[in-house]
Structure formats: structure tokens, C-alpha cells
Structure 1
Amino acid sequence: MEGKDGGSWQRSPGGLVTALEPLMSVNDGAWVGWPGIADREFEPFENEGAWLVPVSLSEQDVADYYEGFSNDTLWPLYHDVIAQPSYHREWWESYVEVNRRFAEAAASVAEDLGTVWVQDYQLQLVPAMLRELRPDLTIGFFNHIPFPAYGIYSQLPWRRQIVQGLLGADVIGFQRNADAGNFARAVRRLFGYSAKGSVVEVPATDTDGRPIVRTVIARHFPISIDASAYERLAADPAVQERAREIRRELGNPKTVMLGVDRLDYTKGIGHRIKAFGELLEEGRLTAEDAILIQVASPSRERVETYRALRDEIELAVGRINGDYGSIGHAAISYLHHSYPRPEMVALFLAADVMLVTALRDGMNLVAKEYVASRVDDDGVLILSEFAGAADELKSALLINPHDIDGMKDAILIAMAMPKRERTARMRALRRRVLEHDVERWSSSFLSVLARTRPAGAPALETLDEAHAE
């Protein structure tokens, strides 16, 4: 689309935008966010019924707030310290400053008694800042990544400030029930507030300065995908033909295995490659019979940990292909770039086995995308028990990705699984994903948030209500 300041704008392909864009349109909402270009100022503009409000970041902000505190402090800490977090005071100061900028932008465009829904770990201070600026607002927050156990979270020097920031919200959403429980324990340990079930009682004052207790809801709302969009693509004859073409290009192996991930140390890509390599080494698989396609989308390439991970993965792929591949039959087809959604759905249809081996994951929507795409009721999902999706997709083959032998056994079980069992498992998985789609996620969160709104606040329309009309 054309930007108001000239040049073109491209909608983010991420699941969050897909989930919330229809919601913005039916409510004449405003989307406050970074436009993705450093050191540039943009005026707010309208697009498809939503008002877009850009918040500018400098190159230094990107380095300190985003690459630094968000992705080299919070991300590894919240993912159980799979990589060592870095703690730098200047990064924290930048995080505070940028969160304040977002809070001020949201406060400036929110209507009287309006609703603001804050998204993800990069903005955990915004709810309390926003409440201070605009006490009339109803504020929701959703955390798209795990929230760690207190023994890990307590390492953070600014642990109290983060929890205090989150408690500015009326409703705080997490991916898993365990994450909500971890947050409640952090509240009790750090502040001594009552946190029973999903209800946290926060001391506050009313407009006259008298002491009151605010009730904050903290519970899990597992996020999902636009399942019907994947179904439509999977039923497209052109996409189905592309799936057959992919298998032909691979030499029509008996089994195609697939991994699709951001190139991130939380995804267990190395564990998956190790298990596959050992099966080849032991002669239980051959490159002529089975191939692993690994799509590894580029991620945070200016962060040293991610550059090192790429080198490690590509070295492992090269060794396995050198040792076990043959002319016309690579053992692993490694692809370090992203693909448009139709090509991804074709890959899902071409894959007999989907490998989701995350060491820690808030949800993992790729697992749900694979299931939604399998309109043929075929294919086997191997899913890490440490991904949030494991709470819902119980008909997958659940594994501990740290158990390499267990993963190898699961791969062989998936390859040998009878068609009748594959169909039964996939139908159960598809029922879950299709019934609990992204509209149900947003509607369930907003329904709970609506119950916290003061009398006289303008109604917020959910997608379910919009469709009913």
C-alpha cells in the first residue's frame, strides 16, 4: 500500500497482524507500532478501516531497546536461559524510554473510556505507564512468549519494575496455564499481593486518593491461527500441484520430513538435525528413502548468538549431506529464507512428517498451520512437549527434544504409522485447530476484558459479534 509520506508500505506477514487487523477494522481502531525503519518520522495514516500510528525508533533504540534488552535480555531469560541473558543498564534505560514513547502515543489516540490491547514482551511497562497517563482506559496485555518460573525470573535486576508494569493492565493473557501460574508466583514473591487462581488484587487509590483494591485477571488464552485461510489454500488445485511438484523435485522419496522455524536457539533445530543424522549413521534411514527439508527463516542477524547459531546449523547440515547424501539425493534440503504462504502450504502438503522440536516455545503456530493445511487428513505431527501447542494438540506424537533417542524412535514410528492411525490422529488435531481459531482467541480475551470495563464505556465489538450481524 502507499504510505502517506510517499513510498510503499507492506503489511507484516506475522500471525499477530493477521489476528488483529479484522478487529481493528470493525472497531475503527488504531494500531500503534514501529514502522520497521529506523531514524524516520511518519505521520499517522488510515488503511483499510484502521488508523496506523507510527512510533519512531532511532538506530540506537533498535540496538539497545530491541536487539539488546528485548532480544538479548528478556528473550533468553523468558525461554529458560537456553542462551545466557545479558544485563546492561543502558539497555534497560532504553527499554523504559521506548515503552514510555509507546504509552504516550497510545494515550494520545485512545478515545475517552476506550480500550487498549498491548502486545508482547517488548512493551511490558506500557500498561502501568498508560494507566498513569489515562486512568479512564481499559487495558489488556498479551504475552506471546513464555513467562518463566520465579527461580529464573528472579535473575532479572529489574524484575519488580516489569511485574509492576504488567499489573497496570486489567487483563494479562498468557499462552499456557503454567505461564499464568509463574506470573502469579512472581507477584506474590515480589509484592506479597493476593494472587489466587486467575485473580490478582493490587492496592491502588481512587480519584480522591482513598485506598482501594484493583482486580487484575491473569490467565491463559492460547493463541491460534486463521485456520480457514490455510484450508482454502490447501484446497487450491495449484497449491496441491505444487506439493506434488516439490516431491518430484526431491526425487520422490518415500518420506518427506519438514521443519519450519525462525533460525532461533529456542527451536531445537540442532537437536532435530542430530537425531536425523544419527538415523542415517545407524543405517535405519537412507538419503534415498527419506529427506529432511529445513526452512530456517533469517532472524536477528545482528545479534552474535544468532550468527553463531547459523554457523553451527549450516556446518551440521554440510557434514550430514557430505557423509550420507548422493548425487541427486541430498539428505537435508536446507533453506535459509522465508517463503510466501502458498509455498508454505504446498510444503505442508508435501511433508509426510512435520517436526516441531522447540526447546521452549510460547505456542508454535507452525504446528497449527501444518494441521490446518492437511485437508487430506494425512501426515504426522511430531511435537515438543515444551511448545505451548502441546497443551492442545494431544493427538500429535509428543516428544522431549532433549531425548535424542526418543526423537529418533518417534521419527521411525511416524514413518511406519498405518494410514488409519494417521487419519484418526489428524482428524482429532484438525477439530481442535479449526474450532479454536484466531477469532476465538481474540474474542475470548476481549470478552474477559469487556467485563472489567467501567459503566458507560463504549462497547468493543468482537469478530464473533461482527459476523453475527
Structure 2
Amino acid sequence: MAPRQAHDDHGIYALDVADLPDPPLGPPGERHDVVIAANRLPVRLDGDGGWALSPGGLVTAMTAVMEGRDAVWIGWDGGLGDAADSAPPARFGDMALRSVSLSETDYADYYEGFSNGTLWPLYHNGLLSTRFRRSWWAAYRRVNEQFAKVAIETTEQDGTLWIHDYHLQLMPAFVREARPDIRIGLFLHTPFPPSQLLMRLPWREAITDGLLATDVIGFQTPTDARNFLSLAHRMGRTEEVMPVDPVTEITVEGRRVAVGSFPISVDVDRIDEMVRNPATREAANAFRASLGSPKHLLLGVDRLDYTKGIDARLKAFEELLRDGTLDPAEVAFVQVATPSRDDVRGYSNTRTEIEQLVGSINGNFAQLGKPVLHYLHQSLPFEDLVHLFLAADVMLVTPFQDGMNLVAKEYIACRSDGTGVLVLSEFAGTAVELHQALLCNPFDTAGMKRVIETALTLPVEEQRHRVRAMRTHLWANTVHDWAEGFFRHLDDVHPRGQRG
């Protein structure tokens, strides 16, 4: 095909498959009907040198969705060039895997640089200042081309490519040019910012064109979808449209493109099965007893990230202890902070601030041998998280900005007895769905204190009324419903056998 016209270093350049390195894994010519593309493979090396499932909402959701499908997951294996420790397996459980290699330069410029130094803060409403570097952009484009080549070789004729998240927003255009038979969907797990914020990005045209090369673009909330439609119109790529909830159809270069809200969810049946196991209940009770059986147990579970508002909730908790609203002899707080992106600007400072808060709170309010705040900077198996969800009276989910936040949904899915209180930031995508949570503004410490106090004194009948309503919503909107809805729109917009 004729290459697209490039416009200096802002544009998407045509994919020249011959110039890209061969993919390192997988027998030549092996193709699958469904290809999942994400920055990372869903596995990582464990402490014993073997491979295990990685933590995180994307992996948890997609492993449930891929069961029973002829599917392959393509992504980076976590190694860097020749220094990679070992190659991941060709299969892990029911999943086929294809690895994409990154060099140290790619990792520094594409991942740490453009993905997490430019896009991540920009997509989270500029909570941290955004940096724009042309070398980062060049690496981002180069790695997206590399992913595209693997997808082109791996996807069956008339197959489906489902791309995930902000790392791979140029990939659809490269694939569309080489393989118009492929049905392409992209789901953005982060928020999508207002158009006036994204206009700061020097490469906004290329990002817009990359996303519009899909058949279906999925966002977490209707607001995110509206923001993108506004940007596409502002860039002159589409007519101005009145968004329709949940999905709006537009026309791009004669193709139908669906843009809509597809809020991701959790595997409620799997969680419910775990919760109903008597051994799980016993482990949850034993955990609470190990903390001294406090009258009130608060819980936070987050990836360590400056967007998650961990510091905001700890400051509110500290003030509640200081002003006597909470008695340190009667309350315990458990905060799990999964390690994340330690080498990326802002993350080491966030860890330092949080750990200083932990030390201050325990130094001022703990009893000898009995901390009031238990802090874990480590990943926990999901089974252990279920024990914590069952043990906790109050779940604190307080991000400054979040695409969805599946921890909130996992907590409610665990509360089969109807008790428990979810304190939820109004800036989490989950707040659009779980209206019965106690909503808070993480930028307002005094307001958050009031919400936490309300949560700890909420009558049991009121708890059950709220939890039942949220569980009803979750059971009607599972992770399988999310995936099936996305694929259904792909079938409608780009039927098999039609060239996009």
C-alpha cells in the first residue's frame, strides 16, 4: 500500500514492515482469532525463577475474558535487550503468549518517558507537570510500530485485535494500513482528559489519528468518551456530534467507528466462589485477630502512585486520631501499596512522603508492639486480598483521578453478608456506577474526615441497603458482560470479511 503522508516529527509515519525487527517468540505463521495487545505480558518472573500471573486489574480482567477463546496476548516480557533474564513461556495456562522486546533506550524513552512522563500525568488532569520531549515521542512511535508488526503476523484473517491502554495509541493506524481485514478495538483504562488539556500535546494529531483508526474505541466513562469526541472534532477529523450514551457512531474516511463508554468490571462469580469457601472466612477472621481484633478496621489497597490519593487518606486518618475522633486503641488501618514505577519521576517522592506519614502516625499514636497503621509495600496474591476485603469494615478508595478502580468493585463483590462501607473518591470512574458508596473529595481533608467518621458509624441496616444495591449492579455488569459488549460492537461496526 502507498505510505501515508508524514508531517514532520508530529505525524504517524507509514509502517514499513520490512524495516522492523522480527518478533522473538512464536513459530512463524501462527495466527489466532483474537489478539490482545498490551504494554506488558500478563506474567512476570517470581522469586523462584518461574513465571506467575502479574498483579493488576487488566490482567485479572483479561485472563477471565480469554478463557475458552483462540487467543494470544502480545506484550513486553519485562526484560531489556540482551540482559533479559529468561524468555517467557509460549503458553501460560489457557493463554498463548508472544513477546515484544524492548531495549534499554526503548524502556527509558517509550515507557518511562513518553508513556509515564508525558501521557500519564496529562491523562490524569496534570496532577504532575507534563514533559514533552521529541526523543520520547520517536521511541513511542517506534515501539508502537514494533507491536504492530507482531500483531500483523499473529492475527488470523478477519480476526480481532484488542489493544489496551495509553501505551499503544498509535498501533491501530499501523495495523489498519497493513491489514484492513483485521477488526481493531482499543480500550483506554485511564481517564481521557478534556480536549483543552490534550491540546498541549505537540503530537495531538497523531494520537487522534491513531485512535480513529480503530473500529471501536472504548472508554471507562461517558465523560471520557465525550472528551475524545470533542478532541476529534477540534482536530477537524469528524463532524460535531451529539454524544449518545453509551455508544456514539461516527464516520471516519468512509468507515464506521463506535466511540463509547464500556466500564470495566470484575469476575464476580470467581470472587463469590472464593468468599463462600469456609477456609477463606477463617483466614479473614484470623487476620483480623492478628491485628488485635480492633473495633474498627480500615483498609486501603492501591498501586503506589501519586494519582491514588494514599497520602490524602493517611492525612485525614492522622487528623482523626489527633483530634480524638478516633481512639487508637480501637482502630487499625491496613494500607497495601503495590510497588510501581520506582524509576519514574514522582514515584520515589510519593513513596517517601507516604512512608514518612506512616512513621509519623505510628510514632505518635501506636502502642508498644501494636501499630495503629499497618503498611505493606509489596504485592499480595489475590487470595490474600480477599481475606483483607472480608476483614475490613471500611474500604478507602480515594484517588485524585482514576479511570475506574477495580479494587472498589472487588471489595463490594466480597461483601456477601451485606455489611461494610465503601468510601469512594468522586474522581474515580467507579463513582459513576456505584452511587451508593460514600463519596468524598480527596482534595478536601476536612470533608474526607467527615466521610470516614460517617462510614465508621453507619448503621448496619444502612450498610446492607447500600451494599445490596451495589452488588446487584455488579452482578448485572460483570467482566464477561464488559468484554461481550465490546466484541458485540466490533461485530456490528466491522463484520467479519469486511475490509476496514
Q: What is the TM-score when the length of structure 2 is the normalising length?
A: 0.86
Aligned residues: 447
Q: What SS does the corresponding residue of 1:216 show, helix, strand or coil?
A: strand
Once residues 10 and 319 of structure 1 are traced to their aligned partners in structure 2, the CA distance between those partners, rounded to angstroms, is 36
* Aligned position for 1:9: 51
Q: 1:178 to 1:111 in 2, by over 3 A?
A: same
Q: Distance in 2 between matches of 1:43 and 1:280?
A: 48
2:420 to 379, 385, 407: 379
Deviation at 1:92, TM superposition (A): 0.7
- Counterpart residue identity of residue 21, structure 1: T
Q: Using the TM superposition, give the Cα deviation of residue 15 of structure 1 relative to its aligned residue in structure 2, in angstroms.
A: 3.0
Any conservation in 2 of the 1:28–1:49 contact (CA below 8 Å)?
no
Partners of 1:224 and 1:436 within 8 A in 2: yes
**Which residue of the partner structure matches residue 35 of structure 1?**
77
Per the alignment, do residues 22 and 317 of structure 1 end up closer, same or farther by CA in structure 2, a change over 3 Å counting?
Answer: closer
Aligned 8 A contact 2:302 2:337 in 1:
yes
Quote the offset at 1:48 in angstroms.
Answer: 4.1
Counterpart position of 2:9: none
Report which stretch shifted further, 63-72 or 231-240.
231-240
Question: Does the 8 Å contact 1:42/1:56 carry over to 2?
Answer: no
Structure-1 residue corresponding to 2:193: 148
Task: Find the aligned partners of 1:284 and 1:15 in 2 and give their Cα distance.
Answer: 34
SS in 2 for 1:395: coil
Tell me the distance in 2 between the aligned counterparts of 1:55 and 1:267.
29
Distance in structure 1 (CA, Å) of the matches to 2:89 and 2:351: 37
**One-letter identity of the residue aligned with 1:94:** A
Q: Are residues 1:74 and 2:115 paired? A: no
1:325 lines up with 2:370 in the alignment: no
| Residue aligning to 2:100 | 55
Could you tell me which residue of structure 2 aligns to residue 338 of structure 1?
A: 379
Distance 2:326 2:50 in 1: 49
Shift of 1:253: 1.3
Q: Do the aligned partners of 1:286 and 1:324 also contact (CA within 8 Å) in 2?
A: no
Amino acid of the residue matched to residue 239 of structure 2?
S
Residue pairs, 1:166-245, within 5 angstroms: 166-196=211-241, 197=243, 198-203=248-253, 213-245=254-286
Asked if structure 2 preserves the Cα contact closer than 8 Å seen for 1:24 and 1:31, the reply is no
Most deviating of 233-242 and 407-416: 233-242
Contact 2:418 2:464 (8 Å CA) reproduced: yes
* 165-174 or 152-161, which deviates more: 152-161
Per the alignment, in what secondary structure is the counterpart of residue 235 of structure 2? helix
Q: CA deviation at 1:444?
A: 0.5
1:299 is paired with a residue whose SS is coil
In structure 1, the partner of 2:205 is 160
The 3-state SS of whatever aligns with 1:37 is strand
Shift of 1:455: 5.3
Alignment partner of 2:161: what SS? strand
Task: Identify unmatched segments of 5+ residues in structure 2.
Answer: 1-24, 28-44
Worse-superposed segment, 141-150 or 56-65: 56-65
Name 2:162's counterpart in structure 1: 117
1:194: Cα distance to partner?
Answer: 1.4
Distance 1:168 1:346 in 2: 43
Q: Answer whether contact 2:77 2:88 (CA < 8 A) is retained.
A: no
In 1: Cα distance, 2:104 partner to 2:338 partner: 23
| Gap regions ≥5 residues in structure 1 | 204-212, 459-469
Inter-partner Cα distance in structure 1 for 2:356 and 2:89? 46
Name the stretch that deviates more: 249-258 or 448-457.
Answer: 448-457
> What's the CA shift string for 1:415-462, capped at 9, x where partnerless?
11111111111111111112211000000110011112245469xxxx
Q: State the SS of the aligned residue for 2:379.
A: coil
Aligned to 1:209: none
Of 108, 117, 130, 2:175 maps to 130
Given that 1:176 and 1:222 are in contact with CA atoms closer than 8 Å, whether structure 2 keeps it comes out as: yes
Shift of 1:23: 4.3
* Displacement after TM superposition at 1:25 (Å): 4.7
| Alpha-carbon offset, residue 342 of structure 1 | 1.4
3-state DSSP class of the match of 1:81?
A: coil
Distance in 2 of aligned mates of 1:111 and 1:455: 11
Question: In structure 1, what residue type is equivalent to 2:179?
Answer: R
SS of residue in 2 equivalent to 1:200: strand
Q: 2:153 aligns with which of 108, 119, 138?
A: 108
**CA RMSD between the two structures:** 2.0
Q: Give the percent of matched residue pairs that are identical in Structure 1 and Structure 2.
A: 47
